[in-house]
Amino acid sequence: MAARPAAFLEGVIEVRYRVSAIVAATALAVLGYRGLGEPQEQVPKLAYINSNEIIAEAPGAAEAQATFEREMARWQSEIQAMSDSLDEMISAYEQQQVMLSPEKRQERQRTIELKRMEYQQRTLDLEQVAAQRQQELVQPIFDNIRRVLVSIRQERGYSMIFDAAGGALIDADTTLDITPLVIERLRADAGGGSSN
């Protein structure tokens, strides 16, 4: 359940990256297919972003990460206390087991097993709570990023905007990178700069 600070948003966008490679390959295949033998009315206008950079710079992302880390610390303390208690119980049993009657040994083993199951269930519960809380904290940030991307795509007439961080792009003309524009627009919307 330990969370690395750099991994705060990675878990949420990991699935999106897996899908982005398939989407990009399909889109490029469709564009390539249209280009073979058929006269094109209009050449598609493409751009790309680096979502890792945008997320790192997005207004509210640092605050969301700090909130999540504070909450995670409380949950990790609770799990650590349960783990320590279980370890102490096991250690005491191991030291005393030779002196215990078979009935007492079985009773202590059952108690340890129940404690272990309680610990495992609480760990699973807190992992689910943490994932849900992480989603709650980052969803408004992702919604804002998406809104800005849709707005820029419509304003600039892009057919598609790809995510270089998703692994779908191998190489691209850097003039097609609109990451700085997206960051500027996000900051402007948050009151921290001017819009393009």
What single letter denotes the amino acid at residue 118?
A: E
Query: What is the domain count for the chain?
Result: 1
Q: Answer yes or no: is 194 within a domain.
A: no
Range of the domain at 93: 5-189
Q: Answer yes or no: is 196 within a domain.
A: no
Q: Answer yes or no: is 167 within a domain.
A: yes
Alpha helices in the chain (DSSP H): 10-35, 51-57, 61-96, 102-156, 179-189
Q: Answer yes or no: is 63 within a domain.
A: yes
**CA nearest 122: which of 91, 80, 70?**
80
Q: Answer yes or no: is 122 within a domain.
A: yes
Q: Answer yes or no: is 154 within a domain.
A: yes
Helix, strand, coil in percent for the chain, rounding step 5? 75, 5, 20
Torsion angle of the four alpha carbons 57, 189, 144, 164, in this order, in degrees rounded to the nearest 10 = -40
**CA nearest 9: which of 57, 85, 65?**
65
Q: Answer yes or no: is 195 within a domain.
A: no
From first to last of its 196 residues, the chain has per-residue pLDDT tens of 444 444 555 554 444 444 454 455 555 555 554 554 555 567 788 898 999 999 989 999 999 999 999 999 999 999 999 999 999 999 999 999 999 999 999 999 999 999 999 999 999 999 999 999 999 999 999 999 999 999 999 999 998 888 888 777 777 888 888 999 999 999 998 885 444 4
Write the CATH number for 10: 3.30.910.20
Handedness of CA 76, 80, 81, 82 (dihedral sign): positive
Q: Answer yes or no: is 93 within a domain.
A: yes
**CA nearest 163: which of 148, 177, 184, 147?**
177
Q: Please state the pTM of the whole predicted model.
A: 0.65
